């Protein structure tokens, strides 16, 4: 998803911000059809939350876990695992953090990842 995910997140957030202004006007003026756009806006807010959670998991937890594992940064790997990074997450080419640690020969990081549930 790379850049496209962030672009979609930004567009959805901007649309929701503009939509909330319309909702405020509709409710202040007591327009009869104001409940329909409210449901549409709420669905957009839920989608924004789901997309934000996905982007947070992928780019702020899983990607740094892979990089820390590949470089042998034990402290960073441990803190990312505690923060909720997925030990089974894969890089774009299918490589996992565990396979990167093993190919580097770092047994400590590999053991940490295995204890966290990594199998590949």
pLDDT 10s digits, 56-98: 888 888 989 999 999 999 999 999 999 999 999 888 888 899 9
Query: Please, which residues bridge with residue 90 across strands?
Result: 96
> Please, what are the domains in the chain?
2-115 (1.25.40.20)
- Checking if the pLDDT of 1 tops 60, the result is no
pTM as predicted: 0.72
Show Cβ contacts of residue 62 under 8 Å, excluding neighbours closer than 6 positions: 85, 86, 89
Query: Residue 25: is it exposed, middle or buried by C-beta count within 10 angstroms (0-12/13-18/19+)?
Result: exposed
Residue 3 pLDDT level (bands cut at 50, 70, 90): low
């Amino acid at each position: 998803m790379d850049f496209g995910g962030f672009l979609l997140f930004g567009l959805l957030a901007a649309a929701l911000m503009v939509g909330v202004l319309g909702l405020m006007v509709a409710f202040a003026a007591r327009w009869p059809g104001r409940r329909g756009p409210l449901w549409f806006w709420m669905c957009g807010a839920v989608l924004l939350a789901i997309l934000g959670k996905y982007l947070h998991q992928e780019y702020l937890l899983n990607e740094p876990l892979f990089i820390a594992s590949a470089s042998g940064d034990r402290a960073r790997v441990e803190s990312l695992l505690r923060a909720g990074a997925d030990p089974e997450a894969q890089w774009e080419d299918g490589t996992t953090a565990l396979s990167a640690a093993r190919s580097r020969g770092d047994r400590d990081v590999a053991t940490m990842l295995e204890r966290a549930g990594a199998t590949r």
